[in-house]
Structure 1
């Protein structure tokens, strides 16, 4: 439930703000909420947790870091071009 709320808050902020840096942060918040949902689904039920969902969550973390770095570079370039 918490993961769904965090995803929703990030998505709403992503759609309602005009600042590019805040959009990158909101995208990260929405991504973290999605990863929370995956981990919660993996740990659900009796027995061992589902290793496939945990692997998806770890892969999602790596992709999130890469996309965040790329997005921050793009935001910096767009803001530099707007200043000229």
Structure 2
């Protein structure tokens, strides 16, 4: 088994795990954000596996795309976590206000 085939298979397994976490009906908030990160990691692995050329060096364009994707993924994860934290705080404040009214 060659290395690029192993990377491709690992990428597909990682994508499947990420999809399972994303479409699971019980996962909300941070759990779903982490599932999207696992899904993105699988896609990155598959892009690196596709970049292989038989006789020569690997294609640099997919590698550049993966590096850019990692930067965007980290930024989007930070934004999503900040929004999830703010949403959780708003829910807590609403619950406290309802308890004080009783």
Name the TM-score, length of structure 1 as normaliser. 0.93
Q: Map of 1:1-84 to 2, 5 A cutoff?
A: 1-16=9-24, 17-84=26-93
In the aligned structure 2, how far is the partner of 1:63 from the partner of 1:46?
Answer: 32
Larger Rg: 2
Structure 2: gaps of 5 or more residues: 1-8, 94-102
Q: Kindly tell me: are residues 43 and 78 of structure 1, through their superposed partners in 2, closer, same or farther at Cα, counting changes over 3 Å?
A: same
Structure 1: gaps of 5 or more residues: none
The Cα RMSD (Å) is 1.1
Kindly report structure 1 stretches of 4+ aligned residues shifted beyond 6 Å.
none
In the aligned structure 2, how far is the partner of 1:45 from the partner of 1:65?
Answer: 32
Name the TM-score, length of structure 2 as normaliser. 0.77
In the aligned structure 2, how far is the partner of 1:5 from the partner of 1:45?
Answer: 24
